[in-house]
Amino acid sequence: MVWQVVSGPGESEPPKVLPAPGASSSATPTPSKAEASRKPSQSPSKSASASASASASKKPQKPAGGGTGPLKGKVVVIDPGHNPGNFSHPSDINKSVNVGNGTKECDTTGTSTNSGYTEARFTLDVARRMRTILEQQGATVKFTQDGDRAWGPCVTERAQIGNAAHADAVVSVHADGSAEGNRGFHVILPASVHAGAADTRPIVGPSKDLGERIVGKFVQFTEMGPSNYVGDRTGLDTRSDLGGLNLSTVPKVFIECGNMRDSQDAGKLTSGSWRQKAAQGISAGIVSFLRR
């Protein structure tokens, strides 16, 4: 199957806001990113679980060392979207940062399933599974955060971590918070942006290659179809408003692994066995890209 890019550079990413713990499955679905971009930003709830921030610390991360497999010498940065502690730091994550062609919130809280399984928990779980797979292939794997800091980092710092590592590939792991009936995954590619500190022109081509390979492998491993509400069912979307992409100087993509607010997608996202398949699919796409 041939996957084609559909450009949508005018779209914006609103804050994903998690419902307070204990919200029922009948809660109003979080709007899609395109819908929410037309509404004022929401502030994170102060009633978020205290256990998330209690487990966070500011001790430095220890980058994993590469092995002797086929990816020996390759550096992969995995960016688990959001942070479980963001709820406790609304003033920090709501501050504006410059993303080259505009400003964005430093970070957002992320979404959740209607039963309360958070995107921040999901992204860390998938990212850790990916790390195991990629290290077995010999890659050196670094995280932007591993549940080891109280909040964030900001989208600007997330980009800088990949740049400073001279990463061969960076993948930011997310899950969407759209309406019931909106199903499937999509990979977000960087648009060509040349403004302020942002210049994605050198990475547009390789990032597209990385994204297309992840789309194909994700379908193969998870048997989940491409999004029926973003990207014209190609599994690809191109955006110019995401700081994590705009400020990257190395090949980078985002993946929205599914819609947490759709009951069928949520059934997959909350399954440990499916998350393992998701990690395998994303990792296989990275391996294909790095061994091209």
Residue by residue, DSSP assigns 83-132 as -GGGGG-HHHHTSEEE-SSSEEES-----B-TT--BHHHHHHHHHHHHHH
Query: How far, in Å, CA of 17 to CA of 145, rounded?
Result: 19
pLDDT in tens, 67-113: 689 999 999 999 999 999 999 999 999 999 999 999 999 999 999 99
pLDDT in tens, 22-44: 433 333 333 344 333 333 333 33
Q: Which of 13, 119, 135, 256 is catalytic?
A: 256
Rounded to the nearest integer, the mean pLDDT of the chain is 84
Contact 181, 262 (CB under 8 A): yes
Two tokens, residue 16: 């994903």
Residue 13 designated active-site: no
- The residue type of 36 is A
Residue 129, CB-side half-sphere exposure with 13 Å CA sphere: 20
Percent of the chain surpassing pLDDT 90: 76
Tell me, yes or no, whether 208 lies in a domain: yes
Q: What CATH code is carried by the domain that includes residue 81? A: 3.40.630.40
Tell me, yes or no, whether 40 lies in a domain: no
Domain that holds residue 219: 65-290
Write down the pLDDT at residue 29.
36
Tell me, yes or no, whether 251 lies in a domain: yes
User: Alpha helix locations (H) across the chain?
Assistant: 33-36, 50-54, 90-93, 119-136, 155-164, 204-222, 243-246, 263-269, 272-290
Tell me, yes or no, whether 55 lies in a domain: no
- Name residue 238's beta-bridge partners: 7, 189
Q: Which residues contact 164 (CB under 8 A, 6 or more apart)?
A: none
Q: Which residues contact 89 (CB under 8 A, 6 or more apart)?
A: 53, 150, 151, 152
DSSP 8-state class, residue 5: -
> How many domains in the chain?
1
Write down the pLDDT at residue 68.
81
pLDDT in tens, 209-251: 999 999 999 999 999 999 999 999 999 999 999 999 999 999 9
Tell me, yes or no, whether 28 lies in a domain: no
Tell me, yes or no, whether 32 lies in a domain: no
Write down the pLDDT at residue 66.
59
Tell me, yes or no, whether 236 lies in a domain: yes
Tell me, yes or no, whether 7 lies in a domain: no
pLDDT band at 65 (very low <50, low <70, confident <90, very high): low
